Chain A
Amino acid sequence: MLDRLLLLLLFLIGFWGIIARRNIIKKIFGLTIINSAVVILFILEGSRIGNSTPIMSSGIADVVDPVPQALMLTAIVIGVCITALALAMAFRLYRSAGTFDIDEIRRKIHDEAS
């Protein structure tokens, strides 16, 4: 129970980072944190039904659930790719607006457009 409470706390911290922090880079941190929290949740819960790693050699039985592990491989890679793309966009926004603050950027773009 404690481990899941900690994961929930981690998830909430990440989500708070996305919505409450004004710095774009910190928003991207938040996204990475919530991704990690969910990945750890899957692996943790999937590991409760077994005792050994899912590599079958003679005499290995009662392995953990390999399905969450395989699925989370995909989820981790996708998360990394999204983070890279988001950082590239943050870089462009910084170069055009001179700041990482999202409210400032929005204001500058509105002023330019109108």
Chain B
Amino acid sequence: MMKRQRVISFLQTFLALGAVLAVVIPVFLSDFPWPTSARDYLEAHGVADSGARNLVSAIYLGYRAFDTLGETIVLLVAVSGTIGIIAQSGVSLARGFGEEALDRKTASPRLRHRRTELIDVVTGKLGPIVLIFGLYVMLFGHLSPGGGFQGGVVIASGIVFIALGSKNEDSTRLQEAGMLARIEAAGFLSLILAALSGMVTGSGFFGNPLAGMGASPVSYIVILNAVIGLKVGAGIGFMCVAMMGRVE
């Protein structure tokens, strides 16, 4: 019976791969010349329209900012859902990170890790430096490669470093569940309010509210980068630090 199942499984796999190959080859291996219309327009007008010299930032925070909002929503929902799914299983997350960890009897009293001195010293000291680098990547996204998401992820790793390296729990409030959740929620609310602000000044939903007002429209992009960076950093940091709390 096992042999027969294995043969069936092999045949199914073979058939599926063959079908996929037949369909996907024309698209992967086509030699049709890549269109230049978008690039030409952006080269000519991108900086003037949005104020950002980084054309990629101009696209995902200007022309297609709604896609970025969707992406931020996916991140928010994924973090919330992941923590929810794990916490429901009764595994003790770090204190305060589980859904009702505070009144469960199984909440872990403190993070107990067998760490070497090396990690404590290095990550603890590196943490603030990584945070600063993350802030730089986030805020300079309109001038150099970077932006909200990239900076946010670096900030999250900074938070993880700090959480790993702290000997007692009150070295910084950045590793507390409540604080990170608050930053994330506030960041998301600010993002949607920033998106709606365009409506008040007449440029439509997700339009740049500063367009045509005389001020350089790039400030809007910087604000968006900052808000997205904080939200993403807090969200991913929340997820990582929550999973670090296992009872040994």
- On A, residues with C-beta under 8 Å from B are 1, 4-5, 7-8, 11-12, 15-16, 19-20, 41, 45-46, 48-50, 53-57, 61, 63-67, 69-71, 73-74, 77-78, 81-82, 84-85, 87-89, 91-92, 95
Contacts and interface: CB of A to CB of B under 8 A. Distances in A.
A66 B74 contact: no
B144 interface: yes
B196 interface: no
B34 A19 contact: no
Contacts, number: 123
A89 B149 CA distance: 25
B82 A88 contact: yes
Given A49-B34, A91-B89, 9 more contacts: A1-B29, A12-B17, A15-B17, A56-B43, A67-B38, A71-B64, A88-B82, A88-B86, A92-B86
A4 B9 CA distance: 29
B28 A8 contact: yes
B43 A63 contact: yes
A74 B34 contact: no
Contacts of B13: 16, 19-20
Contacts of B212: none
Interface SS of B by simple majority: helix
A88 B80 CA distance: 11
B42 A54 contact: yes
Interface SS of A by simple majority: helix
B89 to A, nearest CB: 5
A77 B75 contact: yes
B36 A12 contact: no
Q: Which 4 A-B pairs have the closest CB atoms?
A: A81-B78, A70-B59, A54-B55, A66-B55
B39 A64 contact: yes
7 contacts: A19-B17, A48-B34, A55-B145, A66-B46, A66-B59, A70-B64, A81-B74
